[in-house]
Chain A
Amino acid sequence: MLANHAKLMKFFMSSGEIVGRKKLQKMIYILKKCDVPFEEKYEFHFYGPYSAELTVRIEELCNLGFIAEQKEKKSNYYQYRYTVTDNGQDFLNQSMVELPPFEEKIQQMKEKSSRFLELVSTMLFFDHLSNSEIEEKVQVVKKSSNYTAEDLQQAWQFIEEMKQLH
């Protein structure tokens, strides 16, 4: 029961704390692309891969009291912070869901900015193309983000590292 919710709870448990919905969206997408079997459906949006299904599922986890969401006011926008509650831990203890190890991947991603993860997830969205085609596509769909050649280089390196990690 609620297997997809339980998978997300495992993610939150391993993360300790996630700051920012955008970061959360991109992290789950990158993990999916690393063969972690999350089932939330993603589409390409203005800011890269985005899952409306994930947004609703997070709301459900909040309403069920499994994760706590703190809304923080920034200069001209709001940011959200997520942590697992005691009820969430109980739920997870009863769950039978198994996932491949991903703790190291999560730690690596947490250290990166959401802007960088947006770039990485956008590159992974086009992973059916060749590397040069991916770079061209990123410059087309992310024109206004002004990613530099150095950003792209770092993103490639990060993708490689992610594939090696647990």
Chain B
Amino acid sequence: MYKDEQLDEEKVFKDPVHRYIHVKDRVIWDLIGTAEFQRLRRIKQLGTSFLTFHGAEHSRFNHSLGVYEIVRRILFNFDGRPHWNKDQRLLCLCAALLHDLGHGPFSHTFEKVFKLDHEAFTRQIVLGDTEINYILRRVEEDFPQKVADVINKTYEDKLVVSLISSQIDADRMDYLQRDAYFTGVSYGHFDMERILRVMRPLEDQVVIKQSGMHAVEDYIMSRYQMYWQVYFHPVSRSAEVILTKILHRAKELYETGYQFSLKPTHFISFFSEKNAVEDYLKLDESIVLYYFQMWIDETDPILSDLCVRFINRRLFKYVEFNPNAQMKEWMDLYQLFQKVGINPQYYLVDDSSSDLPYDFYRPGEEGERLPIHLLMPNQELKELSRQSDIVESISGKKRTDHKLYFPMDFIEALPDDQPEKSEIKAILGLS
């Protein structure tokens, strides 16, 4: 049967994070070869971070293979343990491999601007008329639905879901290490082999043997450091602010009947809120960057300027900003920008930690969100931060951040005798 078919020889992908990614199942090999999965090569895992960390050019293709490999190793360790049903193996591997299938170019920004949901696209790709769906249906008629349910976290077996999506899952364990490797930072490392050895399957979740607590502490610390040092890096955020504004501007121009020199064919589905999956699959970052390059020559000065900034890395500067203490200053700045002809809607932008699609570990309130549980020697479960002082100290701290982004070059270019120039600089703390 197709679902049990093994390759004559194991295939391996050389991988800088896990050394090798091993594939023996015919189904997995065939899924990797589909057009929809290959598309992930053209979508960067870290969006705009390559403009800060030049090595961060790795793709969602690399990451998806990595998540698959971690799940494969977890399941090898689970074999024969109570609560683990080995009939779920292929489902887990497929869901791990395909979990990011619905991500688009510069995924988070694209979703926010066009109000899209990558999980809905994943579901449509898995269940729709696609090469992926054809392969999954060869396993079993209802197999695509099962894979979609696992990725959507609504599958009946919660243990299966928790391997792919929980506070210590294969997804996070791969991206933390992979993002650390490709950005070149030294924060993201932790002893994953140890964590995999102390993971235990229970009826509806994966837990960690208490003796492995220190390895998990290291993972939590790495998640915290990566959050502040990489994911929330202010320069990457500046690029993301500009990216957001380009997409908003292009949409606004389309809605007001502006005649683009290059018709934005690939975006029209999203400008007009049709959001068709077949249009989504035609988009990747190479297409988006092509448009940005071409839009530099558009006659609309705002779209052109923002594209120059993104393509040539002429990013906005930023200052720390406290919306409570500085609300009046912000309103003054808004008016001053208008007075000097800098459109504040596009050139005065606040950015908060909640605008980021990452977070760090928070145990939460009872029944709010499933925390990381330690399995004690007496078989009791204890929430991690109740046992670890290090985790309690990190997760108890409410650290958040707000910044204000603006084009310093525009402000500097204002005539020195223009009174608004010194007022703007004074408010921004630049004088």
Contacts and interface: CB of A to CB of B under 8 A. Distances in A.
Interface of A: 1-2, 4-5, 20-22, 25, 39, 41, 43-47, 50, 52-53, 55-57, 59-60, 62-66, 74, 76-80, 87, 90-91, 94, 114, 118, 125-126, 137, 140-141, 143-144
Nearest to A143: B156
B398 A47 contact: no
B331 A22 contact: no
Nearest to B396: A71
Given A43-B153, A56-B400, 17 more contacts: A1-B330, A21-B365, A22-B366, A22-B367, A22-B368, A44-B153, A44-B154, A45-B369, A46-B158, A47-B367, A47-B369, A55-B364, A77-B366, A80-B365, A91-B327, A114-B367, A118-B367
Contacts of B398: 59, 62-63
B137 to A, nearest CB: 21
B367 A91 contact: no
Contact of A45 (B117, B156, B365, B370): B370
A25 B364 CA distance: 12
B338 to A, nearest CB: 14
A64 B322 contact: yes
Interface of B: 111-112, 115, 117, 119, 152-154, 156, 158, 204-205, 322-324, 327, 330-331, 350, 352-354, 356-357, 359, 362, 364-370, 398-400, 402
A111 to B, nearest CB: 18
**Chain A interface mostly helix, strand, loop or mixed?**
helix
Contacts of A62: 398
Contact of A1 (B112, B323, B356, B400): B323
A62 B350 CA distance: 18
Contacts of B115: 39
B367 to A, nearest CB: 5
Nearest to B356: A56
A14 B249 CA distance: 34
